[in-house]
Amino acid sequence: MDVVTQAKQAMDSWHRGQTSAHFETGGRGPGHVSTGRGDHGGVSYGSYQYATNVGGVDEYVAASRYGNRFNGLQAGTPAFTERWKEVAAADPAGFARDQHDFIQHKYYDVQMGRLKDVGIDLSGRGAAVQDALWSTSVQYRGMTRSVFQKGLQQAYGEDFKLTELSDEQIVRAVQDYKHANVQVHFQSSPTLWDSLRDRALTEKTALVGLARYDQVNHNPEAYRGKDYQQAFGEPEPSQRGQRAAASAMADGVLAPGERGTEVQALQAKLIQAGHTGRNGQPLTADSHYGANTEHAVREFQQAHGLTVDGKAGRQTLQALDTAVREHTPAQPVAPAAPAP
């Protein structure tokens, strides 16, 4: 299918918070209740999984127009759970909207303001960044500002310029930071660490896809007649398996924010080809695709007539292999041993 058509369909059906709702409950709706097993937060409720043990569900009920339906009931008990499901069954659309509005005002708007206070103004950003902020505010709550701030700093340097970063770069940095710090952020839920790491990666894939569809939707003529693979050099997100995302090269492209042995090999080749980081800083093969590596890739792409996007796709990697071979001096041939 034409990527312009795909993008229009994706953006026409998008609403803020849909990525979070998918990963919190698999889209099972406002009446969904978790088992709470292995989760420090205990039993969780609704589209965005308000947790019992950290007060999330009590906070919601106290503010909800459905709150009087839960008078005298304690969150986490069978009676409360039964009542929650009854309310959802009686008014699914209204209950869903009420939960959404609560997250908007009590979580999303608050974290948007806290980020703006430290110079990270995301108010004009597109769907992917909005969904990344929404999802993070639901899952990380008061840690949201730190997750965004540290994620962007680790990916693009302490002096990163937000105005120079695309929506895709922002969501990549945030999700990579989440993936790398699961044990720190969720110390009390070790049985969930693997699933939380998987979520960070699969959510990253979904958000990158959303950022690209948003980009296409705003500039359709540049993509007319191309499918997703032709437009971005990799399969569309829905065609990628969850486990494949665990490898940086699973999608055939190395991109800012990614980590791993494939990134280290890329850095080693850039060094061999004589490229440096920003402001002439030496490039180090540290396995992290940060600002210096992106600068070196852009410099290489520009010097070799390639599309300058800062990502190492197949064409860039092939050209780099050729450049390394040409840059490496040929080893002298050992003289033949004298004939006996």
User: For the chain, how far is it from start to end, CA to CA, in angstroms?
Assistant: 70
Q: Specify the amino acid at residue 89.
A: A
Pairing of strands 44-45, 50-51: antiparallel
DSSP tag of 51: E
136 C-beta neighbours (distance < 10 Å), count = 24
Q: Count the helix, strand and coil residues of the chain and give each as a percent rounded to the nearest 5.
A: 60, 5, 35
Residue 137 makes CB contacts below 8 A (sequence gap 6+) with 103, 107, 108, 110, 111, 144
198 counts as catalytic: no
Q: d(Cα 294, Cα 224) in Å, to the nearest integer?
A: 28
User: Which of 2, 12, 39, 214 is labelled catalytic?
Assistant: 39
Exposed / middle / buried, residue 249 (Cβ in 10 Å: 0-12, 13-18, 19+): middle
The residues that bridge with 254 in the sheet, in sequence order, are: 312
Q: Read off the tokens for 57.
A: 């569900």
Tokens of 340: 């006996």
Angle, CA 242 vertex, CA 240 and CA 244 arms, to 5°: 65
Buried b (16+ CB within 10 A) or exposed e, 252-291: ebbbbbbbbebbbebbebbbebebebeeeeebeeebbbbb
What angle, 0 to 180 degrees and rounded to 10, lies between the N-to-C axes of helices 127-140 and 144-156?
A: 130
Determine the Cα angle at 217 with ends 215 and 223, to 5°: 80
Write out the catalytic residue numbers: 39
